[in-house]
Chain A
Amino acid sequence: GESVGLHLPTLSVQEGDNSIINCAYSNSASDYFIWYKQESGKGPQFIIDIRSNMDKRQGQRVTVLLNKTVKHLSLQIAATQPGDSAVYFCAENTQAGTALIFGKGTTLSVSS
């Protein structure tokens, strides 16, 4: 089936370091990709998104990179803070407003 997956289940970094979380997707027809952050006991929170006609998009301390050639998505977090500790999911869909397909998530742990 079509699915989005993440390369590493866990990532541990020191406060102040830059973090990179990776994701591979399989559906070449997907045209919208999103990164969500989920803290314990809460629903997923939108971080940043990117359309398939873009390679890079920047937000506040976060950057998403899309490589359509190898179907790879990454989330870069600059100057990682303890409050960034959470599970990060990438998600995709092929049509506006339709079902999101999520990967299994990467748990980011930030130590101070």
Chain B
Amino acid sequence: DAGVTQSPTHLIKTRGQQVTLRCSPKSGHDTVSWYQQALGQGPQFIFQYYEEEERQRGNFPDRFSGHQFPNYSSELNVNALLLGDSALYLCASSLLALAGDYEQYFGPGTRLTVT
């Protein structure tokens, strides 16, 4: 049973550039959430996608956008990169339709460095 996968593992970008991160959810899951984890901090919720729509959004600027595809995989896009965007970006998947199942399974993350 495949877990949550993310690509790439590491990425280095320059200020002002744009980046796209990818996530494949755990097999059977239909919901993908994205989190940003700065060094030494807990993950911060960016947004969640279900049925190809943004279902919930955290306190992140519009430079952060996403997409979910019919196969439930997802992309996170960040435009006009800032140094402060350097972080570990985590993807978590879950099965929204399963009543009472709250658990979100996390992938290994993508380490983004902005120089």
Contacts of A103 in B (CB 8 A): 42
B107 to A, closest residue via Cβ: A43
Chief secondary structure at chain B's binding surface: loop
A34: Cβ under 8 A from any B Cβ: yes
Interchain CA distance A55-B41 in the complex, whole Å:
28
Interchain CA distance A89-B90 in the complex, whole Å:
14
**A-contacting residues, B78-100, CB 8 Å:** 90, 92, 94-96, 99-100
- How many residues does chain B have at the interface if contact means C-beta atoms less than 8 Å apart? 29
Quick check: A42 and B108 within 8 Å, CB to CB? yes
Chain B proximity of A3: nearest CB distance (Å) = 9
- How many residues does chain A have at the interface if contact means C-beta atoms less than 8 Å apart? 24
Interchain CA distance A103-B100 in the complex, whole Å:
23
Binds B, one of A13-21, A58-66, A74-82, A91-99: A91-99
Q: A42-B108, A44-B90, A104-B41 are in contact. Are A99 and B58 (CB under 8 A)?
A: yes
Quick check: B96 and A97 within 8 Å, CB to CB? yes
Q: A42-B108, A43-B108 are in contact. Are A96 and B44 (CB under 8 A)?
A: no
Quick check: B43 and A100 within 8 Å, CB to CB? yes
A111: Cβ under 8 A from any B Cβ: no
Chain A proximity of B40: nearest CB distance (Å) = 8
A43 to B, closest residue via Cβ: B106
Contacts of A36 in B (CB 8 A): 106
| Contact surface of A with B, Cβ cutoff 8 Å | 4, 32, 34, 36, 41-46, 49, 89, 91, 93, 96-105
Q: Supply 11 A–B pairs (Cβ within 8 Å), ascending by A.
A: A43-B106, A49-B103, A96-B96, A96-B102, A97-B31, A97-B102, A97-B104, A100-B35, A101-B45, A102-B44, A103-B42
